[in-house]
Amino acid sequence: MGKLVQMPAQRLLELAGIPFDPDDPEDVPLDKSPGFTAEQVQGKRKPQRRRRGAGYISDPTKRKAIEEHAERLATDRYEAQGWQVEKLGKPYDLRGSEERHVEVKGTTGAATSVELTINEVLHARDRDNSVDLYVVSDIKVDISSDDYTPSGGTVSHYTDWEPAEEDLRPRKYEYRLPDLTT
């Protein structure tokens, strides 16, 4: 969707009376809008892309709301099991009693992959740590107001998690530039 003005697309569509699901922006029912039909604006059909795992969300407020929602769900689950939970942030998100470390990931996409830092991988692989991975996917985010309101989500809980080499894929490399002054 192109930007006509610096205003969230959902608000413009609501003003036009067009129902809109922000989690599926490719499916705007133009035939239900006033003044024109889907046939009038029908363009080439793009092939449907399957939503993949966690991608980067550029809006820091939205990213933080999703992360905090996932952490709340994880905290609630562990506390319901009788754990005392402490929110840390680094090098892992939560610490439960009995020194269980929990790495929490939240995403609006499907639970097919998550982004991990090298420190998260190294921490999980350290034999001295008991680490769980707690993933909340398919989180819905209401963007109709200035405050993002996340809800729902599907939980994937991996206890005693240790990322296997074959399940990791490099996405970035740091390249140290050679010294050109020598």
Q: What is the pLDDT of residues 86-145, one digit of tens each?
A: 887 776 666 666 678 889 999 998 888 888 888 899 989 999 888 999 999 999 999 887
Q: Of 11-25, 63-77, 111-125, give the lowest mean pLDDT range.
A: 11-25
Side chain identity, residue 167: D
For Cα atoms 112, 107, 65, give the angle at the middle one, nearest 5 degrees: 170
Q: Is residue 4 scored above 80 in pLDDT?
A: no
Q: Is residue 44 scored above 70 in pLDDT?
A: no
pTM over 0.85: no
Pairing of the two strands 94-96 and 100-106: antiparallel
Average pLDDT on 7-26 reads 66
CA 40 distance to own-chain centroid: 35
Task: Compute the mean pLDDT over every residue in the chain, rounded to the nearest whole number.
Answer: 78
What's the rounded Cα separation, in Å, for the pair 60 and 8? Answer: 15
Q: Are 88 and 104 in contact (CB under 8 A)?
A: no
Q: Are 148 and 62 in contact (CB under 8 A)?
A: yes
pLDDT recorded at residue 106: 94
